[in-house]
Amino acid sequence: MPLVSTTMCPSTVHRLPSTVILLFAFFALYSTLLSGQTATISEPLTIRNDYGYELIGRMRDRILLFRDKFTQFEVQAYDNQMQLSWSRELDDLDRRGIQIVAVIPGRNDFTVVHKLRRRGFNFLRMHKYDPGANLIDSMTVKAYGERIFTPPSLDIIQSDDRNCIVVYNLAEKEKIELTCFRLDKMQVLWDKVIGLDPSDRFEPEPHQMVVSNAGDFYYITEKNNRRSKSENHFFHVLHINAAGDDITTIPLKEYLTLDSKFALDNLNKRLTGVGLWGEKNRNRANGTFFVSQNLDNKSIQTIHYEAFDEKFLSVLRQRDVDDNAKGVTDSELKQLVLRQDGGALVIAERNHEIQRGSAAGRGFLRDGMRMIVDYYYDDMYAIAFSPDGKPQWKTALHKKQYSQDDDGTFSSYFLVKNAEHLRFLFNDEIKYENTCSEYVLSPVGEFDRNGILNTQNQGLRMRFRDALQLNGSECLVPSEFRNKLRLVLLRF
């Protein structure tokens, strides 16, 4: 989970002054969920001046929270009743010139990935801690040198087991710097620079990146996703590992791709992708496609296109479909869930934003008043694909969420996975007094909708999209209400 920015207004990041006083009471609040499950709620933390925080998860018998105070870094531990057990400052991290890239939990430790700037030079460093937040190892992974005009802009991708990460730098337009690192051994597997095709910058989805548990990296770009060049439409797949590089292509049909999502299937050794396509333009999805490539024999590829049927469209849109309104607008692929048999489940959400008060799209009007941005996060739909790429079932999950000037922070959903079903957790409405609901989706596409939590008079505003699953029956959800952070432990 990426570092969550704390907010007064949820879209504004605030940095910490040199000192801050924390007022904390050592007891927890309890709540009963509407459908019989339970929620355990911590006492509030003042985060007005925090830069951000991250949910580390469960380590031994404690749940850990990482707080970034810009010049001070702290780990707090909670027991199963969400009472504060201890709090520890990470003194080994520098107080200046540091930027947290990620906090990655392991089985018995967690690693803080950060960028350090010293005398104009930039370094990538890793610090590993035990469950008690004691430093057990540290390492300077890479020196980027002195870069005045293009300082490194770092981000990471993780393997499924979260043991291999690739740190990438996208600060320069012509290239990407990649460093693959194995966390359990604190070892650099490889470090490379790849050049970028300038034409990729004009594609609707410039690139996607995935990494295997063994450190094999795949960089996927889409070529000729234009109607004038659709006869030569394909995915370009660059494979990088310690042994070398190779390139393959996956041909696509003469449809325009609206969105796509790739994942690395470590079990079946396949690169799997699912996407949406349109017949006439990129504003309306007319169907889905499934592609896969065997990683041992890359000439073995599966490609299947299929149009949305009218029954699915009428259920999703809750009205009859005419010839002028076929397809789905405002769709974004959110998650790709791999199945053990080589199939996949893709989850899409309909969302869009509208800016009001500035026809030119600028941030402020001439009279100095700020423009207004409306955020809409509406229906979700899930589609299951067999290993040969054919859709097995489609399910529409209805919701309507509207908010204003909050960057959609409290909208969308969180997915809880286990072997029996999937749970979609979300706010029914985006307001201070609210109810929260869930969809429980079965492996064959059947679902139930349940109310799970009423936040009235509880000082809660749930950020479901930033939640963290702890195991098959628990997840941790941050709540921000009037500059106070609470952690909500949901048990199902």
pTM greater than the 0.95 cutoff: no
Q: How many residues does the chain have?
A: 492
By the 8 A CB rule, do 93 and 114 touch? yes
Amino acid at 1: M
469-484 per-residue burial string, b: 16 or more CB within 10 A, e: under 16: bbeeebbbbbbbeebb
Distance CA 93, CA 72 (A): 8
Q: What pLDDT score was predicted for residue 17?
A: 34
By the 8 A CB rule, do 203 and 225 touch? yes
Q: What pLDDT score was predicted for residue 109?
A: 96
Distance CA 353, CA 364 (A): 17
| H or E segment and range at residue 310 | helix 310-317
User: What is the full per-residue pLDDT of the chain (492 aa) written as tens digits?
Assistant: 556 655 433 332 333 333 222 222 223 344 445 556 899 999 999 999 899 999 999 999 999 999 999 889 999 999 999 999 999 999 999 888 999 999 999 999 999 999 999 988 999 999 999 999 999 999 999 999 998 889 999 999 999 999 999 999 999 888 999 999 999 999 999 999 999 876 655 555 568 999 999 999 999 999 999 888 888 999 999 999 999 999 999 999 989 999 999 999 999 999 999 999 998 778 899 999 999 999 999 999 999 999 999 999 999 988 776 655 678 999 999 999 999 999 999 999 999 999 887 554 555 554 556 689 999 999 999 999 999 999 999 999 999 999 999 999 999 999 999 989 999 999 999 998 899 999 999 999 999 999 999 999 999 999 999 999 999 999 999 999 999 999 999 999
- For 12, residues 6+ apart whose C-beta sits below 8 A from its C-beta are none
Q: What pLDDT score was predicted for residue 27?
A: 30
Distance CA 268, CA 285 (A): 29
Label residue 335 exposed, middle or buried (CB < 10 Å: 0-12, 13-18, 19+).
middle
SS3 324: helix
- For 401, residues 6+ apart whose C-beta sits below 8 A from its C-beta are 375, 376, 377, 378, 411, 412, 426, 427, 428, 429, 430
Q: What pLDDT score was predicted for residue 71?
A: 86
Neighbours of 365 (CB within 10 A): 13
Q: In angstroms, what CA-CA distances link 53 with 64, 129, 270, 319, 397?
A: 11, 17, 35, 43, 31
First-last CA distance in the chain: 21
SS3 317: helix
Strand partners, 450: 438
The owner of tokens 């007891």 is 27
Label residue 83 exposed, middle or buried (CB < 10 Å: 0-12, 13-18, 19+).
middle
Q: In angstroms, what CA-CA distances link 105 with 32, 130, 190, 213?
A: 29, 10, 22, 15
